[in-house]
């Protein structure tokens, strides 16, 4: 008895009999199906891209400062930053700069 009151042409599934169009009230909501690829719309791709860009930026910033004590990273990347590059210049004091040859002489002397 309930099936008699339901009209298949007004369903949102798109099952429309050929030759008949569904009634659309000028005062009702305008339903449109947005463009999507496997259920992903342009808005969801944009939101996902912004989220991934934020996480990627934070991960890159963390990686740079985590590896900032490695001389190659410090010299090749961090010293070339325009404003903060001078902070990463590490010069060895001349008194601490001992030649390896001196240690080799001591090693041969004690062994």
How would residue 8 be classed by pLDDT, with cut points 50, 70 and 90? low
- Please write the tens of the pLDDT for every residue from 20-66: 667 778 888 888 888 888 989 999 999 999 999 999 999 999 998 89
Amino acid 83: pLDDT: 86
Amino acid 71: pLDDT: 84
Q: What is the pTM of this model?
A: 0.52
Q: Which percentage of the chain shows pLDDT scores above 90?
A: 22
Dist CA 30 CA 36 (whole Å): 18
Dist CA 42 CA 39 (whole Å): 10
Question: Which two three-digit tokens encode residue 56?
Answer: 């990627």
């Amino acid at each position: 008895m309930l099936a008699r009151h339901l009209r298949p042409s007004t369903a949102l599934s798109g099952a429309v009999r050929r030759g008949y169009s569904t009634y659309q009230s000028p005062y009702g909501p305008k339903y449109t199906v947005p463009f999507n690829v496997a259920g992903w719309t342009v808005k969801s791709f944009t939101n996902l891209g912004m989220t991934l860009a934020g996480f990627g930026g934070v991960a890159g910033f963390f990686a740079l400062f985590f590896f900032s004590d490695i001389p190659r990273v410090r010299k090749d990347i961090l010293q070339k930053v325009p404003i903060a590059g001078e902070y990463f210049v590490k010069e060895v004091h001349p008194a601490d700069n001992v030649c390896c040859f001196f240690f080799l002489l001591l090693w041969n002397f004690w062994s």
